[in-house]
Structure 1
């Protein structure tokens, strides 16, 4: 059965009550359309038309808009139940064929069509005229996002810790960016932000909220970084790029125990430091040189250590070392060692390492010096505070 709405004229609102034979009974269907003209993106008057309806028998209901170029689905056939009022809004935009975008349809006269298929009865079709006017004919183009790194390891070691998200807009739009995994769990990278036409870039470190509003790092796995842009007219574009997060999580090393020996030395003699270090974080942590076998003097500094090529030893930002400090030291923790003989060693979460290192005491005699250790994250600073304070007497 097809039912066409009465002429709307200048009325802004129309309500049609239908009594339709369904099977052996009668099922009243209430349909209301509020607004017969839409102006996509028009400042101050961009009010969508609202189609509301109620069925008195369970039915599948579909809504589409029909024009000279064909029909666009606004709502796929969906089961509706009696006693509830349903509503759908039409603002002059329709879904794209793949469903990920919305586009403003050209100005013109269209037909809004509601198709009701009640259980045990014949389909009912209701139509009403609707017009689209003053739509923005300029399309919105969102460039595919480009990631500087398709795989990041946000463990703070300074290598592949973040990626740069690059994209472009053909016109001003409100942009939001998120990461989503295969299960549909979504984490915001950038909330809705109005941006001008042109190229845009955003760094992302694998956390919810991104670098600016960073929250907890996302779990390791494969994600899609999606960029969504919506212009004033209602055009929506969504583009995405894949990314992998590996070795992410909280980075934390703790000094479980410290021992300095002996408790009394002469100037020029050796002090041994023994420390137990535990990775209590969520990610494997890297280290750097020099190895624990490197012997310092208290007149030395980590910055003066040379590499095999005779040049100053290169230490990558984000790596971890154990340092020794004392009262009156010229800088914070001037003596620093890597956590293992091999600089490429990584300490996995939950594991510990025993470190033993030695240094020569060249400090004023007839004094008692306080020594301590601390974990240093290069490029960040001492991250554990002073640990294991120990007094050592220095004899002449």
Structure 2
């Protein structure tokens, strides 16, 4: 009997333990980063696809389109709330496990959204889906930086962000087409499938992040006491507002008979140009961050101000306006890796919360930029005027950059 039990135990295969991050090869590291970027692709798809689904949602629930637009606000609110709260309270959770839990919540939110039969449930589902957004990018970016070879942190963080940029080129159009063909819920179901695919990939590929020490909630909240964290967040919130001031109203700007006057049927090409610019800009921004972090931020902000100003004039021509819009995406995306790395550097032991707050800042920039652009248009200044207002925001961000760099250098000298 004992021999039979012993032989049975030898037949049952034991679970193969996941390797530590120090035990994986360079090839395995790149594959892991692709899996992490897939999560960014899913998040990027859901962040932008709702804008094109609003007419379908409004028609399905019998509400006005401006009320349907609250599903975008609900998601953004989830990001703003979830980023600091989740990262502050999960400092003791192993990073691999946390990434898996975040993908579970993200996927569940989209399954509920796809099955929602009333507006209130859809709003709640969008809020739930937004909660893991900032925390995922924070933990994924820090994990990528922790695994990266010396001198390649910026490129590693940019690689994770590449998933979001690629989503604007491929994921959003695919989900949009699916929503148009089979109803808005099909688009959210596609995102749920992407979330599930990310979970499966991370389950089998993600190593244990043994170099990422656990932190307490008190330690993470310590980031809020650092002036450099607030200054960096200020640069991102103000500097990115200009891009969203233009992006939010780009359809009206480019189809306005008094400006470019292109046919609405060609707007997909304009948006794709922005997406391609974002992909290339994200790649460029990673190398910019590795070359010179502080001056990389300044260069990106200056160029954002330049291309936004140029868009005010080029938006009268369909080709020039489209190319200029691509450059807005390029230089805007090139700013993200540098800001993320700077937050990691100035946050001390509270890197997770600081990195997550970067995405809260970007969503505040989204809301603030859209509000500013709307106010400028409502004042009768035209659909191209938000570009000049956005350029002003980029200049304001540059004004924040100077004291931020000066104070940081002064602290090092001491």
TM-score (norm 2): 0.19
TM-score (norm 1): 0.19
